[in-house]
């Protein structure tokens, strides 16, 4: 599992220290990754440009097997949804 955070390095470092995330994090300060995956959206002011919360299940051949994109910042798939998608035949 890898988390992608479209924020500054210092903000991400503080977040990791505060939460103790148990996985690696990619810092996407230029928002290249979130734009490539189609989850970045502009709210009008650059400081307010944010990425929608999203999860992508990607196999070893780099194919996206399942994806979830939230409508608001606290909407994420459940672990049950992710596990179910990972066990489906693709």
What integer pLDDT is reported at residue 48 of this predicted model? 54
Instruction: Inform me whether the pLDDT recorded for 79 exceeds 60.
Output: yes
Instruction: Write the pLDDT tens digit of every residue in 29-78.
Output: 888 988 888 888 766 555 455 677 788 888 889 888 888 888 777 777 78
What integer pLDDT is reported at residue 56 of this predicted model? 84
* CATH number (domain holding residue 77): 3.40.30.10
**In the numeric block, which tokens belong to residue 31?**
């928002």
CA atoms of 45 and 67, how far apart (whole Å): 28
Domain count, the chain: 1
- Rounded mean pLDDT of 76-84? 81
**In the numeric block, which tokens belong to residue 68?**
């979830």
Q: Domain of residue 71: give its range.
A: 2-87
pTM confidence score: 0.63
Instruction: Write the pLDDT tens digit of every residue in 9-34.
Output: 888 888 888 888 777 888 888 889 88
Mark 27-40 as b/e (b = at least 16 C-beta within 10 Å). Answer: bbeebebbeebebb
Torsional sign, CA 36, 42, 46, 48: negative
What integer pLDDT is reported at residue 5 of this predicted model? 80
């Amino acid at each position: 599992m890898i988390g992608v955070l479209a924020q500054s390095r210092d903000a991400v470092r503080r977040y990791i220290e505060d939460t103790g995330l148990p996985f690696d994090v990619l810092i996407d300060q230029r928002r290249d990754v979130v734009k490539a995956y189609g989850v970045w959206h502009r709210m009008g002011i650059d400081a307010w440009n944010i990425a929608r919360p999203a999860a992508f299940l990607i196999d070893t051949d780099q194919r996206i097997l399942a994806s979830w994109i939230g409508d608001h910042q606290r909407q994420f798939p459940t672990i049950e949804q992710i596990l179910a998608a990972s066990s489906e035949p693709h």
